[in-house]
Structure 1
């Protein structure tokens, strides 16, 4: 009887243990989300709404990055509406290609939140003058967005910010002191860009920025000086920055500019710059110019 009693107790305990093991959730390592890059486009002139989605698709396909592309609505000339900017709250990196927008306060709030978050920022060309509110407007301070975000001049015409004519082009060279920067991996030491050179000197980028590429105007329409066309920086919100004044759609056809862009995105995300290039991206967007 005693043996039977202890056999029954043992059987019951084994049964309870088996049920407990079955019911207990298995501990699994938390899945790490791919970083999210949010592109914000609306530039009148250079077709950023067409080039940036091609960059985004390449990141999704070959580089383990999630992307979202936000565009001015209903087209590139719509200066007062970029739907979906709340996506910036989830972004790990924001990339801007804007020109002379006049967004409403509720949309500017999402930008302000992001810029205050210390998360990295990246910009192309006309983002030096992303906003163009009239003098005295409640949002006029946003005209200096480029200075706040990227260390560029605070708007077109400010601090001598101009260019050297639509018939000019730019010879670009790697700055020797920056040649080993990860962003320049695979970027040719010299190449020619369709973008007419932007003047940002003498006051920009800031002295604590790191210029990466220097531009020399070819066939300028006025006396020209050499100017940085790409730099890194840490802005006042302590965010990592990459900015380039390149951005003509023909620039994006060049493999070197494509690598510069993909490299910069990895660097800003804190990811290793790809040692192996996945190959040239097909970007054949025509230069549009300003068409109203």
Structure 2
């Protein structure tokens, strides 16, 4: 597994733009630009994340761009506007089983190789789903090389969940209680059914922030981390959460986690004052 992963990273670094050199990140603009890249069949990320983007612009002095699959969320082969990543200070991904063309993947690859920060939600562990032998098959492991998560669904990592009828009790890992990202974040109940990422993920060196315990699982369940930070294969800061059901976005603790993590990824101080709970009422839809 380790040899295959190293070969994958080397392959990505040898194509396109130069790899991250370890030089200090460029100074942020007065208003940092956050680019949200959405495209999933199930969790309405293209509806929840624009509300987060609106809040960042209204109350936190940021600029945002939200990119969406076209013509709709079920379109797996087209997310227009990815060239916006060239100017992004942070890229936030909420993807599921896309098959983007090489010219669009090139924009994502170029961003990763700058060593700038990345953030991911839930199904971004399996952001891409190219057939075996496809020229872009390496992208199926996006979750691993970009977000320190399992490299796609199932497979050797046995990445799975505990049933759609289950939900998750989320708790703060005691040793991280004073982590700035967890400011204002307490235990909460998430509608997301728990993803299994253990035993091999998050990748070694990641910092676990929140733990999830499955409620009403359809099989024997173990507790799993549901949010972590780290550094990815390109030297970029990572925040990843396997939560992201639209009902999770209604939880104030989850809202604070997301806003805090965006600030952390950008190297900004976590806001001392919370602007108040957001009104996010977006429905869940069954995957096609």
What TM-score do the two structures reach when normalised by structure 1? 0.88
SS at 2:64 equivalent: strand
Give the match for residue 19 of structure 2. Answer: none
1:49-77 CA distances to partner (integer Å, 9 max, x unpaired)?
00000000000000001000000000000
| CA distance in 2: counterparts of 1:181 and 1:44, whole angstroms | 33
> Structure 1 residue 245 and structure 2 residue 242: aligned?
yes
Give the match for residue 38 of structure 1. Answer: 35
| CA distance in 2: counterparts of 1:84 and 1:171, whole angstroms | 37
Give the match for residue 198 of structure 2. Answer: 201
Give the match for residue 103 of structure 1. Answer: 100
Which stretches in structure 2 are left out of the alignment for 5+ residues?
Answer: 1-27
> Structure 1 residue 262 and structure 2 residue 269: aligned?
no
CA distance 1:125–1:32, change in 2 (3 Å) = closer
Give the match for residue 170 of structure 1. Answer: 168
1:194-218 CA distances to partner (integer Å, 9 max, x unpaired)?
0000000000001200000000011
CA distance 1:248–1:260, change in 2 (3 Å) = same
> Structure 1 residue 81 and structure 2 residue 102: aligned?
no
Give the match for residue 136 of structure 1. Answer: 133
Give the match for residue 20 of structure 2. Answer: none
Give the match for residue 24 of structure 1. Answer: none
SS at 1:230 equivalent: strand
CA distance 1:278–1:77, change in 2 (3 Å) = same
> Structure 1 residue 148 and structure 2 residue 145: aligned?
yes
| CA distance in 2: counterparts of 1:33 and 1:183, whole angstroms | 22
Number of residue pairs the alignment of both structures matches: 260
Which has the greater radius of gyration? Answer: 1
Shift of 1:32: 4.7
SS at 1:252 equivalent: helix
What TM-score do the two structures reach when normalised by structure 2? 0.89
